[in-house]
Amino acid sequence: MEIKVLKNILKDNAHKAQDNNIHLKSKNISTLNLLASPGAGKTSIIIKTAEKLKNEKNIVVIEGDLESTIDSQKLAELGIPAIQINTGGGCHLDANMVGHALEAMDVPKDSILFIENVGNLVCTAAYDLGEDMKVVILSSAEGHDKPYKYPLIFENADAVILNKTDLMPYVDFSRDLFYKGVRALNENCPIFEVSCRDGSGLDEWTQWLKSKVM
Amino acid sequence: MEIKVLKNILKDNAHKAQDNNIHLKSKNISTLNLLASPGAGKTSIIIKTAEKLKNEKNIVVIEGDLESTIDSQKLAELGIPAIQINTGGGCHLDANMVGHALEAMDVPKDSILFIENVGNLVCTAAYDLGEDMKVVILSSAEGHDKPYKYPLIFENADAVILNKTDLMPYVDFSRDLFYKGVRALNENCPIFEVSCRDGSGLDEWTQWLKSKVM
């Protein structure tokens, strides 16, 4: 019984995600679904990417959180248009929530739309939102074993960002085991090592992003 | 319809959690449900606590992960008895899974039982497992804003451990905002600042734990 309901939810979600994608494509908007644990640096990646691309692309953000408007306020203060979805306890965004957000904000043609999902490596992996790409962000402080423990999200990633590389000297993180873990699930996705704090690796990431969206 | 099913699941879970608690209490076992994001240091806290208490208390662990036996193997190598639950994609442990684990392993009388939940600050908060205490662990690298974004888990905490304090000099973490956030949700729970890497704060945590379980 529960399984049947879950299947219906996922089927309905897939339809709505397709609607979102058709709508976004009709306006030539490139959409990234950002997936990560709490505190991996999703908002920081958006801010740093927006800084790099501000003269070339319009950046718009949909922020997903259980509660609070901390991140959307932070973005608004930097002049990055953002709309907040509060899931009120819900552990992931779904395509319907994103559809409502798209009705509430008029995303300009040719923009890049970042959807910052709820901080969660599990439930977010199962729900398409209408995005073109899923980008998984991991902080080096979380450890190299995460691909082994949370395989689905790495399996479906179009790109992986290993963030907070500046913390590498102070944590036990094996690059070899991390890459081995990701590659066992996903042979081809690019992996970017970046630090939003010292700026390293951000050029490589934004160059790749530009090659995908322009 | 979905809401009704969810309510039934939570009601069934509450009954099963009560059964687990009665069984554990009958053997004078003290049970802690450890809740945290991926990579916050749940397993390290268990290992360090076991080191401190090894001459006083028997420590047993139930490990919850979507996949892999990485953590239970790590514990077994250190001589800490552990049983692994793989949820196969499930985003949290439930009381039924823990009940099966308790049937599969004979936890000795008077033990401390750590249940390491799936790394997730959302879904794990809603499911009692039969524990005496919920302990929320946060890594300083995750940022001070987590109580504001994931309120339920902090609201229900019997203790909060702020781990990886050795990373404080290298990350933007405001102790004031963190404490303010926790206290707005939970006036009385103790907050322990620890580092499993340099050992600081672990004596205070284990002293408190001893005062609760002995």
Q: Tens of pLDDT along B40-74? A: 999 999 999 999 999 999 999 999 999 999 999 99
Distance, CA of A9 to CA of B58 (rounded, Å)? 45
Distance, CA of A179 to CA of A185 (rounded, Å)? 10
Is it the case that residue B2 has pLDDT exceeding 60? no
Helix axes A42-53, A70-77, angle to 10 degrees: 20
Q: For chains A and B, what is the number of CB pairs under 8 angstroms?
A: 122
> pLDDT per position in chain A (214 positions), as tens?
345 566 678 889 999 999 999 999 999 999 999 999 999 999 999 999 999 999 999 999 999 999 999 999 999 999 999 999 999 889 999 999 999 999 999 999 999 999 999 999 999 999 999 999 999 999 999 999 999 999 999 999 999 999 999 999 999 999 999 999 999 999 999 999 999 999 999 999 999 999 999 7
Residue whose entry in the numeric block shows the structure tokens 């340099």: B198
Is it the case that residue B3 has pLDDT exceeding 60? no
Task: Read off the pLDDT of each residue in B103-132 and give the average, rounded to a whole number.
Answer: 96
CB proximity A146 to B under 8 Å? yes
Task: Read off the pLDDT of each residue in B136-158 and give the average, rounded to a whole number.
Answer: 97
Which residues share a beta bridge with B161?
B137, B192
Distance from CA of A172 to the nearest CA of B (A): 10
Task: Read off the pLDDT of each residue in B18-42 and give the average, rounded to a whole number.
Answer: 98
Q: How many helices (H) and strands (E) does chain A have?
A: 8, 7
- Name the 3-class secondary structure at A139: strand
Could B143 and A39 be called an inter-chain contact, meaning their C-beta atoms sit closer than 8 Å? yes
- What is the DSSP code string of B114-183? EEE--S-SSGGGG---S-SEEEEEEEGGG-TTHHHHSHHHHHT-SEEEEE-GGGGGGS---HHHHHHHHH
- The answer to whether residues B75 and B61 touch, using CB atoms and an 8 Å cutoff, is yes
Question: Which of B173, B171, B146 lies closest to B157 in space, CA to CA?
Answer: B146
Could B38 and A142 be called an inter-chain contact, meaning their C-beta atoms sit closer than 8 Å? yes
Distance, CA of B86 to CA of B70 (rounded, Å)? 11
Which residues share a beta bridge with A86?
A65
Distance from CA of A214 to the nearest CA of B (A): 33
pLDDT band at B10 (very low <50, low <70, confident <90, very high): confident
- The answer to whether residues B87 and B140 touch, using CB atoms and an 8 Å cutoff, is no
The pLDDT score that the predictor gives to residue B100 is 95
Task: Read off the pLDDT of each residue in B112-121 and give the average, rounded to a whole number.
Answer: 97
The pLDDT score that the predictor gives to residue B33 is 98
**CB atoms closer than 10 angstroms to residue B22:** 10
Q: What is the ipTM of this complex?
A: 0.89
Helix axes A2-26, B2-26, angle to 10 degrees: 130
Q: How far is CA B89 from CA A22, A150, B67, B118, B158, in A?
A: 30, 8, 7, 10, 27
> Which residue of A39, A141, A148 is in closest CB contact with B146?
A39
Question: Which of B38, B37, B39, B59 lies closest to B48 in space, CA to CA?
Answer: B59
- Residues in chain B with CB shorter than 8 Å from the CB of A119 are 37, 121, 149-150
Torsion, Cα A166 A168 A171 A173, to 10 degrees, reads: 140
Distance, CA of B109 to CA of A149 (rounded, Å)? 31
Percent of chain B having pLDDT more than 70? Answer: 97
> Which residue of A37, A70, A151 is in closest CB contact with B39?
A37
Could A38 and B149 be called an inter-chain contact, meaning their C-beta atoms sit closer than 8 Å? yes
The pLDDT score that the predictor gives to residue A6 is 61
The pLDDT score that the predictor gives to residue A126 is 92
Distance from CA of A176 to the nearest CA of B (A): 16
Is it the case that residue B195 has pLDDT exceeding 90? yes
Residue whose entry in the numeric block shows the structure tokens 């879970």: B13
Could B89 and A122 be called an inter-chain contact, meaning their C-beta atoms sit closer than 8 Å? yes
- The answer to whether residues B42 and B74 touch, using CB atoms and an 8 Å cutoff, is no
Could B143 and A1 be called an inter-chain contact, meaning their C-beta atoms sit closer than 8 Å? no
- The answer to whether residues B43 and B74 touch, using CB atoms and an 8 Å cutoff, is yes
Question: Which of B170, B201, B153 lies closest to A38 in space, CA to CA?
Answer: B153
Residue whose entry in the numeric block shows the structure tokens 């890459």: A179
Bridging pattern class, strands A133-139 and B30-36 = unpaired
Could A150 and B66 be called an inter-chain contact, meaning their C-beta atoms sit closer than 8 Å? yes
Is it the case that residue B123 has pLDDT exceeding 80? yes
| Residue type present at position A173 | F
